[in-house]
Amino acid sequence: MRTYRAIKYTIFVCCYIFWVASAVLIAVGTYAKVAKERDVVDTLTVDPALLLISVGSLMFMITFFGCFGALRNGIVLLKMFLGILLVILFLQITAAVIGFIFSKTVLQRTELLMLKAIMRYREDMDLENLIDFVQKKFRCCGVESYTDWSKNAYFNCSEDNPSLEACGVPFSCCIREAGESVFNTMCGYETQTMEEKTAEGSIHTVGCLGKIVGWAKQNVLLVGGLAVGLLCLEICMISLAAALLRQIKNTNQETNLTETVRMKRSP
């Protein structure tokens, strides 16, 4: 009986924590989506707000099944919770294997996705902030190099481009000096017209894709540890849900058997 209660409330508490977290994700994503001045970016792959809403909604649904299935001893809800977790675990393992085998293809797809995001820069505030964060965090610019910004309508070097940022790069590409109090947001002005050695004096010229891959290789233990930790958590929840289902079924069978015996003995 103690084991039964321990499993039951462990599942409930864990699912409740993630349930609340998923609600926060949905709220943040919805607020970001509603607060935008223009809704130009409306695809999941390049809109962080839609990504938050989608991930939050999926988590909310899964943890809802786990919470109320454990709390109410709902066999159907627990089976749905267990089934979805098994599907997600299978998809994660499959994606990891495919990513390892076809690593070059994954990098090519990632590069295309990042180039698409660069093309959408200035059209979505969330995407713009995300790109700026990555470029400042990894001290990089563009996907392969700073010249990738020529693919953006505001930064390309065409003669008919009226933008003041033509032939430039975003300020997040710029090299900031230690202790700098006033930052020049036009520091990337016309840097695409410069030779790489000349541009290196004012901006980061190395692309972000190579920097991110290099960071992942240098921190392989951290990345691997997070991945293994997530898999262990999922396997633990799957095991607990399966154990709780088995105990609920056994309890129901014992109850039905007791009731049957009692009815046979009654006059």
pLDDT at residue 41 is higher than 50: no
Domains of the chain by residue range: 1-100+220-267, 102-218
What is the pTM assigned to this prediction? 0.71
- Write out pLDDT tens, residues 218-264: 888 888 888 888 889 889 999 999 999 988 888 777 777 676 667 66
Cβ(56)–Cβ(48) below 8 Å: no
Q: pLDDT per residue over 71-123, tens digit each?
A: 888 889 999 999 999 999 998 889 888 888 888 888 888 899 999 999 989 88
Section 177-189 average pLDDT: 73
Map tokens 């154990």 to a residue: 243
Q: 102-218: which CATH architecture? A: Orthogonal Bundle (1.10)
